[in-house]
Chains A and B, each alone.
Chain A
Amino acid sequence: MATAVGEHPVSVRGLRKSYGDWHAVQGLDLDIHQGEVFALLGPNGAGKTTTVEILEGVRQRTGGDVRVLGCDPAEDRREWRARIGVVPQTTGAYSDLTVREVVEHFAAFYPNPLPVGQVIDMVGLAKHEKKQSADLSGGQARRLDVAVGIVGDPDLIFLDEPTTGLDPVARREAWDLVRYFSERGRTTVLTTHYLDEAEALAQRAAVIVAGRVVQCGPLAEFGGRSQTPTTVSFRIPPELAGRTLPPLPPGAEPAPVGVDGVLRIATYAPTALLAALVPWAHQAGVGELPELRVHRPTLEDVYLDLIREHADGTDRGTDTTQSITPEAGKR
Chain B
Amino acid sequence: MTLTQPTATTAPGTGGHAAATPRRAGRLPGIWRAGAARSKVELWAFFRNKQSLVFTLMFPVILLVVFGSIFSGKVAGTDTDVKLVFMAGIIAAGVMSTAFSGLAINIAIERDTGTVRRLAMTPMPKSAYFVGKLVRVIVTTALETVLLIGIALALFGLPLPSTPERWFTLGWDLALGTVACAMAGAAYSALIPNSRSAAAIVTPVFMVLQFISGVFFPFGQLPAWMQTVAAFFPVKWMAQGFRSVFLPDSFTVVEPAGNWELGHIAMVLTAWSLAGLLLTAFSFRWRGPRVR
Spell out A's residues near B (CB within 8 Å). 19, 34-37, 53, 56, 58-60, 78-79, 81-82, 84, 86, 88, 90-97, 101, 105-106, 108-112, 148, 152, 155, 178-179, 182-186, 200-203
Contacts and interface: CB of A to CB of B under 8 A. Distances in A.
A321 to B, nearest CB: 23
A167 B120 CA distance: 29
Given A88-B118, A182-B15, A182-B16, 14 more contacts: A36-B13, A78-B125, A81-B123, A91-B114, A95-B49, A95-B113, A109-B34, A109-B37, A110-B29, A110-B123, A148-B118, A182-B13, A184-B20, A185-B19
A104 to B, nearest CB: 8
B29 A95 contact: no
A59 B291 contact: yes
B122 A96 contact: no
Contact of A112 (B24, B45, B121): B24
B241 to A, nearest CB: 34
A179 B13 contact: yes
The 3 closest A-B pairs by CB, nearest first: A185-B20, A111-B26, A93-B113
B17 A93 contact: no
B41 interface: yes
Given A58-B291, A97-B44, A109 B29 contact: yes
A196 to B, nearest CB: 12
B49 A185 contact: no
B163 interface: no
Interface string B30-48: 0001100100110011001
Contacts of A201: 12-13
A106 B243 CA distance: 44
A183 B45 CA distance: 37
Given A109-B37, A111-B26, A78 B287 contact: no
B21 interface: yes
Nearest to B19: A185
Given A37-B13, A56-B121, A86-B121, A111 B20 contact: no
A83 B18 CA distance: 19
Contact of B23 (A37, A90, A109, A112): A112
Contacts of A182: 13, 15-16
Interface of A is mostly: loop
Contacts of A19: 292
25 contacts: A19-B292, A35-B17, A59-B291, A79-B28, A81-B123, A91-B114, A92-B114, A93-B114, A95-B45, A95-B113, A105-B40, A108-B33, A108-B37, A109-B34, A109-B37, A110-B26, A110-B123, A179-B13, A179-B15, A182-B13, A182-B15, A184-B20, A185-B19, A202-B13, A203-B13
Interface of B: 11-21, 23-24, 26-29, 33-34, 37, 40-41, 44-45, 48-49, 109, 113-115, 117-118, 120-125, 287, 291-292
A82 B20 contact: no
A109 B122 contact: yes
Given A58-B287, A81-B122, A95-B109, A179 B12 contact: yes
A31 to B, nearest CB: 16
Nearest to A151: B122
A91 B125 CA distance: 23
Given A79-B28, A95-B109, A183 B123 contact: no
Contacts of A37: 12-13
Contacts of B20: 34-35, 184-186
B121 A82 contact: no
Given A58-B121, A59-B291, A110-B29, A96 B114 contact: no
Nearest to A53: B291
Given A95-B109, A101-B44, A184 B21 contact: yes
Contacts of B41: 97, 101, 105
Nearest to A145: B118
Nearest to B20: A185
Contacts of A84: 121
B14 to A, nearest CB: 7
Nearest to B124: A109
Given A79-B28, A81-B122, A203 B44 contact: no
Contacts of B48: 96
Nearest to B33: A108
Contacts of B44: 96-97, 101
Contacts of B291: 53, 58-59
A13 B118 CA distance: 27
A82 B28 contact: yes
A79 B28 CA distance: 7
Contacts of B27: 111
A105 B42 CA distance: 11
Given A92-B115, A185-B19, A108 B29 contact: yes
A79 to B, nearest CB: 6
Contacts of B19: 185
